[in-house]
Amino acid sequence: MSWTIIGLCVAVWIGELTSPAFLDQVILAPDLGRTEPWRFLTSAFAHATTIVHIGFNMLAVWMLRGLETYLGGRRYTALYLISALAGSAVFVLLATPGSAEWYTGLVGASGAIFGLFGALVVVYRHLRQPMTQIWVVLAINAVISFSVPGIAWQAHVGGFLTGLAIGVIFVGEQRRRAHGGTDRTWAGLLVLTLIIVAALVVKYWLAGPA
């Protein structure tokens, strides 16, 4: 799935370069998310047209591909997509209706990637692996997220916190199965997804008519 995600992101990026109108169909702006909810996920496969944005994000996906080996393809895919959704959701939840940010577009896989990092923190802690390098990478990314203009730090925070939560679900189920318990992984992921969706419904309800 890691290579599939990279392939999809590159394909979308090529589509953006080929037709500027293509980006308009996948980008997420808070005012568009109400009536076109697919943008919460499609925006995570789109990037700025500069090679730097997609290059760094796809490098991160490639570097974190070992997490897929540990979790398995289905769990890794769920982690990636739910983290992407959460990153987009937090971006919208923290936007002020009617302000400029309400109409500002979001693209990039960073929310999903930070979700991978969040899960990796939990998995490394569970396996009692050295975590110094992870914390250094996260610290560098945190500085960049909050100091460089134009970066949607909200998506980074939302993705990371969701990745932590999903990591706890995965590790908890490993322990449960080790003691003969039933697998409740997908129920836990469903509940988490419903919470994210419910938060967005409330946000748009409070925001008033489109």
Catalytic residues: 110, 156
132-147 vs 110-127: helix crossing angle, rounded to 10 = 160
Residues 6+ apart with CB under 8 A from 110: 57, 87, 151, 152, 155, 156, 159
- Total count of residues recorded for the chain: 210
Residue among 164, 53, 144, 165 at smallest CA distance from 106: 53
Q: Coil, strand or helix: which one is 85?
A: helix
> 37-64 in b/e burial notation, b at 16+ Cβ within 10 A?
bebbbbbbbbbeeeeebbebbbebbeeb
Which residues, in sequence order, are bridge partners of residue 28?
A: 106
**Which structure tokens are listed for 165?**
């939560």
Say how far apart CA 145 and CA 138 lie, in whole Å. Answer: 10
